[in-house]
Amino acid sequence: MKNSKEKKRFIILGLLPTFLLYIIFEIYPTINVFKDSLYKTGGLSGNKTFVGLDNFKILFKDPNFVKAFQNTIFLIVVVTIFTIFSAIIFASVLTRENFAGRNIFRIILYIPNILSIAVIASISAAVFGMDQGLINGFLRLFNPDSYQNIPFLGDRNLVMYSIAFAMVWQAIGYYMVMYMSTMSQIPEQLYEAANLDGAGKVRQFFDITLPLTWQTIRTTLTFYIISNINIAFQLIKALTGGGPDGASLTLLNYQYDQAYTNSAFGYGLAIGVVVFLFSFVLAAIVHKTTKRDVVQY
């Protein structure tokens, strides 16, 4: 009995500092965001006017907010699908296939993940640039006399696709390594048995590799969907600043502009509340819809 009480006391004392830090730096600021979103305030000044839910009523009538919301959903859907799908395919090939230069491909695919967002933005600008961009330079080779440069980052219809491409390129390597770690633990005997049964590599992928990797895919899927919102903010801030004419704004970019550029701090926090609730609901939906029975071997 004494040892049990001492063990509980030790656990409580060990967790208490972390719990207190979590309350101070996570719970308390989150509660403050919800509270201050009910006020109208200029910048970080102490002058506040209680407006209730007026900030939220304005939100859904604000065309810039609606556009930012649409852009956020676009990046979550398109970037997540292409990133996770590509990472799974690359991981499967680089784990299962034995060919010359396999390790080189692993390094090449992983390098973008170790680069900062500022570097990713600089590389993307060099690739998609209108005058000296790599893509325009390549296309100009086929028609040097009459070729018109394509403004990938300056066209309202192309800018989000360019940003999506950069985000996919940046993230593939990280998730590929995670999937490779799981796939490398799958017993080789399962693939040998499948070969004896006449199953091809595509069938093996869907019947063995994918089911036994699903729990890792599920975890990373939820994680990436949420982190996607933050990564998009950083990349867009460094690459386009939300332009042209707000065409590449996402929720966090619009929140930042309202709170710290336009000094509409309460309105910006209302956007933050929407981002928080949207992320929470989205994570819950993904967690629920991707739930499968754990496949064991």
CATH number of the CATH domain containing 140: 1.10.3720.10
Q: What is the pLDDT of residues 172-184, one digit of tens each?
A: 999 999 999 999 8
Position 213 in a domain = yes
Position 195 in a domain = yes
Burial 264-281 (b: 16+ CB within 10 A, else e): bbbbbbbbbbbbeebbee
Position 28 in a domain = no
Position 142 in a domain = yes
User: Looking up tokens 């309460």, which residue turns up?
Assistant: 266
Position 26 in a domain = no
Q: What is the pLDDT of residues 194-252, one digit of tens each?
A: 888 888 888 999 988 999 999 899 888 888 888 888 999 999 999 999 989 889 999 99
The per-residue pLDDT for 252 is 92
The stretches of 37-158 forming alpha helices (DSSP H) are 54-59, 63-96, 102-114, 117-128, 134-140
The per-residue pLDDT for 81 is 92
The per-residue pLDDT for 71 is 95
Q: Are 236 and 242 in contact (CB under 8 A)?
A: yes
Position 250 in a domain = yes
CA distance from start to end of the chain? 40
Interval 80-107 mean pLDDT: 89
Domain of 238, in residue numbers: 49-289
Position 85 in a domain = yes
User: What is the average pLDDT value for the chain, to the nearest integer?
Assistant: 88
The stretches of 97-204 forming alpha helices (DSSP H) are 102-114, 117-128, 134-140, 159-183, 188-196, 201-204
Structure tokens at 67: 């556009």
- Identify the DSSP state of 297: -
Number of independent structural domains in the chain: 1
Position 237 in a domain = yes
In percent, the amount of the chain with pLDDT more than 70 equals: 96
User: What is the three-class DSSP state of 54?
Assistant: helix
Q: What is the pLDDT of residues 257-297, one digit of tens each?
A: 988 877 788 888 899 999 999 988 988 888 888 887 666 66
Q: Which helix (H) or strand (E) holds 39?
A: strand 39-41
